[in-house]
Amino acid sequence: MSETVHDTIKKTVTENDIVLYMKGTPVFPQCGFSSTVVQIFDYLGADYESVNVLDDPEIRQGIKEYNNWPTIPQIFVKGEFIGGCDIVREMFETGELKTFLADKEIALTA
């Protein structure tokens, strides 16, 4: 992984409260897992930055190497890697995600 890709990822996840590395965009997700995470964040009213890994093969590979996590989507909150779709969906279903985001002082509109 080139240092520039690693630096770009690190910069993105540290400068934004929530970052979603996904296939596609929030308006047009390109996979069901990415779509699920978008729906969860939209339902909660969470403001998030999205990165379409399909736009850049280096970012697509680099994000997998960045946390040693093989799948997309990947979710970061305040620079901390949270996990993928299954983890976020489970946290949402139990109410843990809303509490976690509140603990991180992230405003939700829902």
Domain ranges of the chain: 3-103
pLDDT at position 110: 75
3-103, CATH topology level: Glutaredoxin (3.40.30)
DSSP 54-101: GG-HHHHHHHHHHTT--SS-EEEETTEEEE-HHHHHHHHHHTHHHHHH
Q: What is the pTM of this model?
A: 0.94
- ω into 73 cis (within 30 of 0): yes
- Encode pLDDT of 21-80 as tens digits: 999 999 999 999 999 999 999 999 999 999 999 999 999 999 999 989 999 999 999 999
